[in-house]
């Protein structure tokens, strides 16, 4: 069982899964860091993105259009959600924020179940990226390789927005001290709305890109949500690099443990999280005052 | 909330539980649904103590529900253990033990982190149940064949099987659960748990071991979950693996929020709404799978508009209709004239560290605090004698508040040492220091906002009477010796006697400031630090508060920071002036007034500029 090529292919699986987790987690972590709201509907948004992509794909037959349409749809969902509900919860206790986003996650899941039923759906990979590619010692599904590339580009884009734009500068300043940013005369509420939209977009984008790898089901977001928590706890709340590194670590742990015994993959993941909590309670890249 | 008529709640609960099997069958309620409501209700009692009372929202209760359930079910099926009730108790104890260990880990963090960690931990349990332990737990098949309880009483045999026949057993379990929980929330521990929910920092600062109390609540919740998990197996005749699922925790949270948190009965009401509505939507309206969408929407709307759930809503409606709340909202005119206050006997300070100690009461040497590159305090040497009333003045940003924070061990000094009553307290916790008799009032009010004035003072006095941590879960708050007297006395001292049953949120600002001082005073400290007690007060309130400070200074040592120089010069025997983190001068008020350095610091060299122009 433990062959060299098996190990390599699991390593790649871990990379693909880790990259996706990194993208979803960075959405969660920048929303939390800036707005102070832990979005429990984030997993459901990942799922929703996948279904939006599915609908767009059914309508147009183009995977690229599906990705674009689904991502934009999630941007709109995020902005509307912030405007209509989340905004009224900034001043309320954390518990209420958790409750309302948890409730919204159930509403999202059940809406999808209502329209698409519980059975799983799939989106085929685009023709150019289907099939398998030879990597010398082994063959590997082309699309999964492409996922790593696509997500890497998305993460770079996110990095660019966060670290090279005016908005990103405000967001990063807001993560450190939102009150201060507010007193500097910046309309934080508009920034919050943008951040929530971007975070939702990241989750939705990951959902569509992931759709050809794993089939879609209404409940798929729950497991992802729990995994992103682990990523954020490992990486440190509010830290973009933490989300990326934590995501990759989590992906590899799940994938490499699965090679030995799939039943222990998640047990191992949580064991590592526990270890991080004991040794570095704020996470690998966490900083004081961000929670 | 349950304290006014102690036994009434229990009696009403018992009556309703007895009446249910006579009434509900006529309303076509499925007995199985009623039984499930009871199990969820019992599960929720513990959770409500954790979430509603202590303010800790755990998303991982399924871990304990499953643990207790599977251990009881395993004993009763595969191990052939014959005693149902004993197996349930063993399951409960096991779940509580697991809760203790998990609590040690999860409670290292608060708020968001706590929620995320509990989710993750519950997931571990789910996977462990399915894989490594599947030999014992039956994996995805669960454990079938869990027996129902029967008791041989000699003359007759009591068999509880299913439906309405099982109901009395479950109802009894629920009743015992609620009676125990009512005792807990009426105990000093219950009062402290609410204080932790309202303001954990202040709860620690008045001398309670917050971490230990949180762990207590966590273990209680785990115990209730474990017992309820066992009952689930008994109810279904089968222990289902989905007890461990995230959905279980989620449903519990939603039911508690729907019914009303912090009420103990909320989870039961929520479960009744949830399960009856589910039956109704599925069976009567033929909504099929969409029932959960409807419930999800109902839940979101409730969280948005009815924060305290159904029970909270009913209570608000009740106060609205009867107008009971109105009277309390109108501020009561200060009834006690200042003169009478002198008649209130000063409160004795307790010296806990060692009364035979001689030399200064407090001594700080080389106290320095740096925040990164910013030096807040630089090598401050400071001494206070027994019985002294020291004033500290200094321009804004002189480091006065930081200095106080270090003295009470709220923040550790970068370097230097603090000795209180001959004991080195450097690096101790704020809780332990308060227990030694050194505490402070805060510049910005740190009160327990949803509690009444009396309840606030109870919290502080309890710390002195009970120590940092005591597990008197079944003691009654009104029977703690000395509590009533101490709180009454403090109420008189800060002249809030007429407002004792008013919630803090309805107090006027000046009253809150006095309560702030009262909270520090109620633990009868040997050394009391007051951080700007006069800040924001009207001239009249200032005069009154100065009188108050004079009366509480009798028999105790005090250090007061304030910007009101006239007040401080009147009050204090000696004054220390801080500037830019250092001690600029120290002396009697007259010396300070005449000190050119001090004049310079306050006038900031303006006179020189004026001379130049």
Given B123, B297, B304, which is nearest A270 (Cβ)? Answer: B123
CB contact under 8 A, B303 and A270: no
Distance, CA of B230 to CA of B71 (rounded, Å): 8
CB contact under 8 A, B303 and A100: yes
Residues B537 and B445 sit within 8 Å (Cβ to Cβ)? no
Is B123 a domain residue? yes
Across B211-262, the runs of DSSP E, i.e. the strands, are 238-239
The three-state secondary structure class of B1 is: coil
Residues B406 and B377 sit within 8 Å (Cβ to Cβ)? yes
Question: What pLDDT is attached to residue B64?
Answer: 96
To which H or E segment does residue B380 belong? strand B374-384
CB contact under 8 A, A38 and B57: no
* Residues in chain A closer than 8 A to B250 (CB atoms): 102, 106
Domain boundary among B191, B215, B246: B246
Which phi and psi angles does B424 have, rounded to 5°?
-75, 115
**Is there a single domain that holds both residue B26 and residue B153?**
yes
**Is there a single domain that holds both residue B229 and residue B374?**
no
Q: How far is B119 from chain A (nearest CA, A)?
A: 7
Structure tokens belonging to residue B495 = 């002249």
Residue showing tokens 């122009």: B613
Given A263, A270, A278, which is nearest B124 (Cβ)? Answer: A270
Is B463 a domain residue? no
Domain boundary among B246, B274, B300: B246
pLDDT lower than 50: segments of chain B: 326-342, 353, 613
DSSP A192-247: HHHHHHHHHHHHHHHHHHHTTTS-B-TTHHHHHHHHHHHHHHHH-TT-HHHHHHHH
Cα dihedral sign for B162, B167, B173, B178? positive
Question: What pLDDT is attached to residue B324?
Answer: 59
Q: What residues pair up with B561 in beta bridges, in sequence order?
A: B392, B531
pTM given for the model: 0.89
- Give the A:B interface size as CB pairs under 8 Å: 114
Question: In B, residues 387-446, which contact A (CB 8 Å cutoff)?
Answer: none
**Is there a single domain that holds both residue B374 and residue B242?**
no
Domain boundary among B246, B266, B291: B246
Is B189 a domain residue? yes
Q: By the CB < 8 Å criterion, does B160 face chain A?
A: no
Is B276 a domain residue? no
Given B119, B246, B299, which is nearest A103 (Cβ)? Answer: B299
Task: Find the angle CA(A68)-CA(A73)-CA(A77) to the nearest 5 degrees.
Answer: 150
Given B112, B295, B303, which is nearest A38 (Cβ)? Answer: B112
Q: How far is A195 from chain B (nearest CA, A)?
A: 19
**Is there a single domain that holds both residue B74 and residue B208?**
yes
CB contact under 8 A, B246 and A94: no
pLDDT lower than 70: segments of chain A: 1-2, 288-291
Is B278 a domain residue? no
Question: What pLDDT is attached to residue B453?
Answer: 95
Chain B residue with minimal CA distance to A37? B112
Question: What pLDDT is attached to residue A291?
Answer: 53
Is B379 a domain residue? yes
* Residues in chain B closer than 8 A to A270 (CB atoms): 120-121, 123-124, 127
CB contact under 8 A, B293 and A237: no
**Is there a single domain that holds both residue B238 and residue B375?**
no
Overall domain count for chain B: 2
Structure tokens belonging to residue A16 = 């693909």
Question: What pLDDT is attached to residue A137?
Answer: 73
Q: What residues contact residue B448 under an 8 Å CB cut-off, 6+ apart?
A: B194, B195, B198, B199, B202, B203, B455, B456, B459, B504
Q: By the CB < 8 Å criterion, does B289 face chain A?
A: yes
Is B514 a domain residue? no
Q: What residues pair up with B390 in beta bridges, in sequence order?
A: B559, B574
DSSP A257-289: HHHH-GGGHHHHHHHHHHHHHHH-TT-TT--TT
Q: Among A95, A269, A275, pick the best mutation site for testing chain B contact (most B Cβ within 10 A).
A: A95
Question: What pLDDT is attached to residue B328?
Answer: 47
Q: What residues pair up with B424 in beta bridges, in sequence order?
A: B419
Which phi and psi angles does B366 have, rounded to 5°?
55, 35
Residues B503 and B451 sit within 8 Å (Cβ to Cβ)? yes
Given A32, A93, A103, which is nearest B300 (Cβ)? Answer: A103
Which range of residues forms the domain containing residue B569? 362-446+523-612
Question: What pLDDT is attached to residue B181?
Answer: 96
Is B381 a domain residue? yes
Q: What residues pair up with B393 in beta bridges, in sequence order?
A: B577
Q: What residues pair up with A132 in beta bridges, in sequence order?
A: A141
Question: What pLDDT is attached to residue A73?
Answer: 96
**Is there a single domain that holds both residue B403 and residue B542?**
yes
Question: What pLDDT is attached to residue B4?
Answer: 56
Pick from B68, B72, B92: which is nearest to B82 by CA?
B72
Pairing of strands B238-239, B389-393: unpaired
Provide the CATH number for the domain around residue B585: 3.40.50.300
Structure tokens belonging to residue B410 = 């709220």
Question: What pLDDT is attached to residue B342?
Answer: 45
Task: Find the angle CA(B495)-CA(B500)-CA(B502) to the nearest 5 degrees.
Answer: 120
Given B57, B120, B297, which is nearest A229 (Cβ)? Answer: B120
Cα dihedral sign for B56, B58, B63, B64? positive
**Is there a single domain that holds both residue B239 and residue B375?**
no
**Alpha helices, DSSP H, located in A119-219:** 142-164, 166-176, 178-183, 188-210
């Amino acid at each position: 069982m433990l062959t060299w090529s098996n190990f390599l292919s699991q390593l790649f699986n871990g990379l693909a899964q880790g990259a996706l987790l990194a993208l979803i987690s960075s959405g969660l972590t920048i929303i939390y860091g800036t707005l102070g709201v832990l979005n429990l509907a984030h997993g459901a948004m990942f799922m929703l993105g996948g279904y939006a992509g599915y609908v767009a794909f059914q309508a147009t037959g183009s995977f690229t259009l599906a990705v674009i349409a689904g991502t934009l749809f999630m941007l709109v969902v995020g902005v509307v959600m912030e405007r209509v509900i989340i905004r009224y919860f900034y001043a309320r206790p954390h518990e209420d924020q958790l409750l309302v986003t948890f409730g919204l996650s159930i509403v999202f899941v059940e809406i999808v179940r209502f329209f698409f039923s519980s059975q799983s759906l799939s989106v085929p990979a685009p023709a150019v990226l289907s099939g398998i590619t030879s990597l010398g010692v082994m063959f590997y599904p082309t699309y999964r390789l492409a996922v790593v590339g696509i997500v890497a580009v998305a993460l770079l884009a996110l990095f660019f927005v966060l670290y090279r734009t005016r908005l990103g500068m405000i967001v990063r300043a807001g993560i450190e001290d939102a009150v201060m940013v507010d007193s500097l005369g910046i309309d934080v509420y508009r920034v919050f709305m943008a951040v929530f939209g971007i975070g939702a977009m990241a989750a939705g984008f990951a959902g569509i890109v992931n759709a050809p790898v794993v089939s879609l089901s209404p409940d798929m977001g729950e497991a992802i949500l729990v995994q992103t928590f682990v990523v954020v706890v490992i990486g440190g709340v509010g830290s973009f690099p933490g989300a990326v590194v934590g995501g990759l670590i989590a992906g590899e742990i799940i994938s490499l443990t699965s090679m030995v015994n799939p039943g222990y993959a998640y047990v191992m993941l949580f064991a590592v999280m526990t270890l991080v909590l004991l040794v570095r309670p704020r996470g690998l890249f966490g900083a004081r005052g961000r929670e | 909330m349950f304290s006014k008529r102690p036994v009434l709640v229990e009696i009403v609960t018992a009556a309703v539980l007895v009446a249910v099997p006579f009434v509900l069958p006529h309303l076509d309620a499925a007995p199985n649904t009623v039984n499930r409501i009871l199990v969820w209700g019992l599960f929720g009692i513990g959770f409500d103590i954790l979430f509603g009372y202590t303010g800790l929202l755990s998303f991982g209760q399924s871990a304990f529900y499953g643990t207790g359930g599977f251990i009881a079910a395993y004993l009763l099926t595969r191990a052939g253990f014959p005693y149902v009730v004993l197996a349930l108790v063993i399951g409960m104890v096991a779940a509580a033990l697991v809760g203790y260990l998990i609590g040690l880990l999860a409670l290292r963090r608060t708020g968001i982190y706590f929620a995320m960690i509990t989710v993750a931990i519950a997931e571990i349990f789910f996977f462990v149940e399915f894989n490594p332990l599947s030999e014992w737990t039956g994996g995805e098949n669960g454990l079938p064949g869990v027996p129902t309880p029967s008791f041989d009483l000699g003359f007759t045999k009591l068999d509880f099987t299913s439906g309405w026949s099982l109901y009395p057993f479950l109802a009894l379990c629920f009743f015992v659960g609620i009676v125990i929980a009512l005792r807990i929330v009426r105990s000093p521990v219950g009062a402290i748990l609410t204080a932790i929910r309202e303001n954990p920092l202040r709860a620690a600062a008045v001398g309670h071991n917050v971490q230990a109390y949180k762990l207590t609540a966590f273990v209680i919740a785990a115990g209730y979950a474990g017992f309820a998990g066992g009952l689930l197996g008994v109810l279904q005749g089968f222990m289902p693996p989905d007890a461990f699922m995230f959905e279980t925790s989620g449903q519990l949270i939603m039911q508690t929020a729907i019914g009303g948190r912090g009420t103990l009965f909320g989870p039961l009401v929520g479960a009744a709404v949830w399960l009856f509505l589910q039956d109704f939507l599925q069976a009567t309206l033929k909504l099929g799978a969409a029932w959960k969408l409807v419930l999800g929407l109902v839940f979101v709307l409730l969280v948005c508009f009815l924060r305290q759930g159904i029970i909270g809503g009913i209570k608000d409606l009740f106060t609205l209709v009867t107008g009971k709340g109105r009277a309390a909202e109108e501020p009561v005119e200060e009834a006690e004239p200042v003169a009478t206050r002198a008649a209130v006997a000063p409160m004795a300070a307790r010296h806990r560290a060692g009364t035979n100690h001689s030399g200064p009461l407090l001594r700080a040497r080389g106290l320095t605090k740096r925040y990164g590159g910013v030096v807040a305090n630089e090598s401050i040497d400071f001494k206070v004698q027994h019985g002294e009333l020291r004033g500290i003045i200094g321009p804004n940003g002189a480091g006065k508040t930081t200095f106080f924070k270090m003295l009470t061990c709220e923040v550790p000094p970068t370097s230097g040492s603090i000795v209180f009553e001959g004991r080195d307290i450097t690096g101790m916790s704020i809780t332990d220091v308060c227990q030694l008799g050194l505490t402070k009032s805060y510049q910005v009010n740190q009160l327990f906002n949803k509690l009444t004035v009396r309840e606030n003072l109870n919290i502080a006095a309890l710390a002195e009477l009970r120590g940092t941590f005591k597990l008197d879960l079944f003691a009654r708050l009104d029977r703690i010796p000395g509590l009533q007297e101490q709180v009454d006395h403090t109420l008189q001292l800060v002249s809030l006697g007429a407002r004792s049953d008013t919630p803090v949120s309805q107090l006027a600002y000046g009253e809150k400031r006095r309560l702030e001082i009262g909270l520090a005073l109620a633990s009868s400290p040997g050394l009391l630090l007051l951080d700007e007690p006069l800040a924001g007060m009207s001239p009249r309130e200032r005069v009154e508060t100065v009188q108050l400070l004079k009366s509480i200074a009798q028999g105790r040592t005090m250090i007061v920071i304030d910007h009101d120089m006239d007040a401080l010069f009147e009050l204090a025997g000696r004054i220390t002036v801080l500037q830019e983190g250092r001690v600029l001068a120290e002396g009697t008020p007259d010396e300070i007034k005449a000190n050119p350095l001090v004049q310079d610091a306050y006038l900031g060299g303006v006179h020189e500029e004026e001379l130049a122009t």
